[in-house]
Chain A
Amino acid sequence: MSDDLKKLIIDYVKKEYLDDDSEEIDESTQLISSGIVDSFSMVALKTFLEKKFQISIPDEKATTEAFDSVNNMINLLKEFNVA
């Protein structure tokens, strides 16, 4: 499950945020603090996870830190028993 989940989120981030198809990211790549995902368009990432897993992530948990890497997002999803 975890590997599938990693791939799912990495593929989404690559498709949605990277301009160059040859750019690579992995589960520990910093997304927000490195500027790949800006803190505002992080909302789209949150919506993607919420729709995909039919959960609602409350604002206090939707921090820039929680979305800063695929690993962090998986840890967040664990709290909702979907990872």
Chain B
Amino acid sequence: MAYSNKARDFFSNELKNINTAGTFKEERYIESPQGANINVEFPVGAKPKEVLNFCANNYLGLSSHPEVIEAAHQGLNERGYGMSSVRFICGTQDIHKELETKLTKFLGTEDTILFPSCMDANAGVFDVVLDKEDAMISDRLVHASIVDGMRLCKAQLYNYKHSNMDHLEEKLKETQNLRLRMIITDGVFSMDGDIAKLDEICDLAEKYDAMVMVDDSHATGFMGKNGRGTHEHCGVIGRIDIITTTLGKALGGASGGCVSGRKEIVDLCRQRARPYLFSNTMPPVIVAAANKVIDLISKTTDRRDKLEKNTKYFRDKMTAAGFDIREGVHPIVPIMLYNAKLAQDMARDLYEEGIYVIGFSFPVVPKGQARIRVQVSAAHEKEHLDKAIAAFTKIGAKYQILGKKKDEIIAQYGY
């Protein structure tokens, strides 16, 4: 053993620095299934408290849906617990293939390959398709997993200002002499809930002969009329070359992800993507439940319709109550507070009122743009939304921010 005091002191100091910077992340223990109502033990050792959950990615409310749970049980009974293998040795069951086929059909692509997570899909896909003669041209606010994937790829990196199409076009002109180029973006950006301009991006991609890659984790299952994702919302189905997405949010919320898109790219991922080749296959229980999820959302759009209605109701009422909200249509609703301490204090007070939300500040969001991120779900009923709106209004009045815009809140609390 060579875990010396020197090593221990070094790591302890790192932890202290995280604490001092105010970015130490604490887990809260949930003693119930995921849902609109959850029982939370916080702080550790406290009596569990029933709160309304407004911070899960459980957009369609399928995380604890009875039919999904039943399908998971059936998968466990019929296909077992683990596969003890990667996919290409002896880790592919009929239900894995079934899920890939269903996802391809649902997303409207040519083919799909499952990964252990969307983080893994993003970590693997760029290195498979691009090399040093090529260019990755990414939106500057893409998810951290895309950043990690781009770091692992030798292609030249360019990035454009967030959703700035003129800047993207400049980068496309700048890289015209390179072999292959890929425009890389989130479909929906997770901190603001804003939507990529995929129609304009596809037009530019066609004009300058570049591929388009979209991480649609915060959209698959509910954005667009049939819930297919941001590409459906923007009217560009069939024009996106690579979609990566997750089964860990709207689609049941357990785990797993995929690369879906052009057939050759998916085939190459099966040969070369390191997280696919060297990580265990998705467990049968999750695959079986995910198959049921795709069946449920293919059969009816009721859940995504309810989510859309809930989102509009919540956004309208919160705006009327006087909160400064980033405009949009997505169930991610950023309540802008600008000051980090104000965001933390209000989130703590809301928890006391039975509303579980989280305050986000730098470095997760840019400096001076602290906010509480609310996530609306189809699992929420009108009374849940009303309770949250009433609690926000009470706490907003306590901190005297209702009806105030950015400059006034900053004048009151500072950045």
B146-172 Cβ-contact flags toward A at 8 Å (1 or 0):
010011000011110110100000000
Q: A34-B367, A35-B367 are in contact. Are A41 and B159 (CB under 8 A)?
A: yes
The reply to whether A43 and B157 contact each other, CB–CB distance below 8 Å, is: yes
Give the shortest distance, in Å, between B190 (CB) and chain A (any CB).
Answer: 15
Could you say which residues of chain A place their CB within 8 Å of the CB of B363? 35
Q: A35-B362, A38-B140 are in contact. Are A44 and B367 (CB under 8 A)?
A: no
A1-36 Cβ-contact flags toward B at 8 Å (1 or 0):
000000000000000110100000000000000110
Could you say which residues of chain B place their CB within 8 Å of the CB of A17? 161
The reply to whether A44 and B362 contact each other, CB–CB distance below 8 Å, is: no
Q: Cα distance A26–B156 when bound, in Å?
A: 29
Could you say which residues of chain A place their CB within 8 Å of the CB of B33? none
Q: Cα distance A39–B150 when bound, in Å?
A: 13
Q: Cα distance A6–B397 when bound, in Å?
A: 47
The reply to whether B161 and A44 contact each other, CB–CB distance below 8 Å, is: no
Give the shortest distance, in Å, between A7 (CB) and chain B (any CB).
Answer: 20
A residues 45-83 touching B (CB-CB < 8 Å): 47
Q: Which residue of A lies closest to B144 (CB)?
A: A40
Could you say which residues of chain B place their CB within 8 Å of the CB of A16? 161
The reply to whether B147 and A40 contact each other, CB–CB distance below 8 Å, is: yes
Could you say which residues of chain A place their CB within 8 Å of the CB of B147? 40
- A19, A35, A40, A47, most chain B CB atoms within 10 A: A40
Give the shortest distance, in Å, between B182 (CB) and chain A (any CB).
Answer: 16
The reply to whether A41 and B140 contact each other, CB–CB distance below 8 Å, is: yes
Give the shortest distance, in Å, between B282 (CB) and chain A (any CB).
Answer: 29
The reply to whether A44 and B157 contact each other, CB–CB distance below 8 Å, is: yes
The reply to whether B366 and A35 contact each other, CB–CB distance below 8 Å, is: yes
Give the shortest distance, in Å, between A76 (CB) and chain B (any CB).
Answer: 20
Give the shortest distance, in Å, between A37 (CB) and chain B (any CB).
Answer: 10
Name the contact of A44 in the complex, choosing from B158, B162, B366 (C-beta under 8 A).
B158
Q: Cα distance A47–B156 when bound, in Å?
A: 10
Q: Which residue of A lies closest to B362 (CB)?
A: A35
The reply to whether A19 and B366 contact each other, CB–CB distance below 8 Å, is: no
Give the shortest distance, in Å, between A39 (CB) and chain B (any CB).
Answer: 9
Q: Which B residues form the contact surface with A (CB < 8 A)?
A: 140, 147, 150-151, 156-159, 161-162, 164, 362-363, 366-367
**Interchain Cβ contacts under 8 Å between A and B, 23 examples:** A16-B161, A17-B161, A19-B161, A19-B162, A19-B164, A34-B367, A35-B362, A35-B363, A35-B366, A35-B367, A38-B140, A40-B147, A40-B150, A40-B151, A40-B159, A41-B140, A41-B159, A43-B157, A44-B157, A44-B158, A44-B159, A47-B156, A47-B157
Q: Which A residues form the contact surface with B (CB < 8 A)?
A: 16-17, 19, 34-35, 38, 40-41, 43-44, 47
